[in-house]
Each structure stands twice: as C-alpha cells, then as structure tokens.
A = this chain, B = another copy of it.
Amino acid sequence: MGKVIANMSMSLDGFIADPADGIDELFGWMGSGEVEVPTAVEWATFRMSPASATYMRESMASVGALVTGRHLFDITHGWGGTHPLGVPVVVVTHEPPADKPNPDTFTFADSVETAVKLAREAAGDKNVVIASAKIAQQCLDAGLLDGIHVDLVPVLLGTGVRWFENLATAPARLEGPEVIEGQGVTHLAYSVRRS
C-alpha cells in the first residue's frame, strides 16, 4: 500500500506562502535549473538542478493521487482542469463548487478522513500526496500521515502562511530526514514516527 505524504515548499522560518498567497520566493528552485522536467500539462514545465530533477521525477512517478484544500483549489482555478501531476485530486470542502470541473480528475470530500480514503482508493499502490498546509496538519493530528517531505528554501519570509500553525498533537516526532541537496532548495524527506 502507498504512503500518505505531505509535501510543500517551505521557507526556513516555516512559511509556505506570503501573506497574499504569493509563492515567488518559494518556487524559484522549480524554474531556475538546467534540467527540464515536463508535467502532465502544457502550461507547466519545471526547470531544475540535476539533483532536484531526479528527486522530482521519482516523486512524481510515485504519486497516485493528491489531496488539497478548497483554498488551493480556488486560487489555482482548479489547475485549469488538470493538475500538473496528472493524477486524481480530492478536494476537502464542506461546499463543493456548483460548477464541478472535470469529474475524472476532481472529487470533493467533506473531511480529511474521507478525502484520504478516496485518494488511497484512487492511488492504488502509489502514494497519496497532501498538497495543502491545513489539510496536512489535520492529517497529522488524525494519525493519517506517513511522511512529511519539505522542500526547504533558503529564505526567511518573516510573515505569511505557516505550514504548521495549529497542531493538536504536538510534539510530533519524525524520523530521518533523507536529504537531497538541490540548488536553491534542500529536499528533506521525513517519516512520521508512530508512538
């Protein structure tokens, strides 16, 4: 069975976006390298350092489904109908949008438990990636998370949206990390320790 892994780009001081949801400071490593990494969509092609490209290709190949929050779904306009990873996306929301996009790709669930269950079913033997700060927190608190993969960016933002803001079950002890050194990013792959 696949794992449930939270993955975000994060500043050294713990932010995953600036106060206006901007990610320019945090996503630079995905577009500034010499190795092209295509995605499932034409509008997004990564350009990364060789180390990050290898890591990203392996990560992308291991993902079977995504879980995101409603906020991310909204600000990306549902990724135009297809997520760059090209996998099914389960959106956690209490109010599914009236105009549901691409039903082959998007499912809506009203709890993280249901969302992870649906995503697991869609992912089969592959991993489920949680691509939303709040949903990742809720999954950790609910004991649903196997791994936390941080793409740690060498910047202090000082303000913005924190990844880990309201943990109910802290301290949460982790194992690892496995470290991959990119350019403008350090990939840190932690496992969640089960107590």
Chain A: interface residue count, which band? Answer: 35 or more
Q: Give A residues with C-beta under 8 Å from B.
A: 11-14, 25, 140, 148, 150, 152, 154-159, 162-164, 166-177, 179, 181, 186, 188, 190
Query: Given A14-B14, A179-B181, A156–B150 Cβ distance below 8 Å?
Result: no
Minimum-distance CB pairs A-B, first 5: A158-B170, A158-B167, A154-B174, A13-B164, A14-B14
Closest chain-B Cβ to A119's Cβ sits at a distance in Å of: 22
The 22 listed contacts between A and B (C-beta, < 8 Å) are A12-B150, A12-B174, A13-B14, A13-B167, A14-B14, A140-B156, A152-B188, A154-B173, A154-B174, A154-B177, A155-B171, A155-B174, A156-B164, A156-B170, A156-B171, A156-B172, A157-B170, A158-B164, A159-B170, A179-B179, A179-B181, A186-B188
Query: Given A158-B164, A158-B171, A163-B13, A186–B181 Cβ distance below 8 Å?
Result: no
Closest chain-B Cβ to A136's Cβ sits at a distance in Å of: 11
Partner of A25, one of B155, B157, B171, B177: B171
Copies in the complex: 2
Bound complex: CA A162 to CA B12 (Å):
12
Closest chain-B Cβ to A180's Cβ sits at a distance in Å of: 10
Bound complex: CA A33 to CA B118 (Å):
42
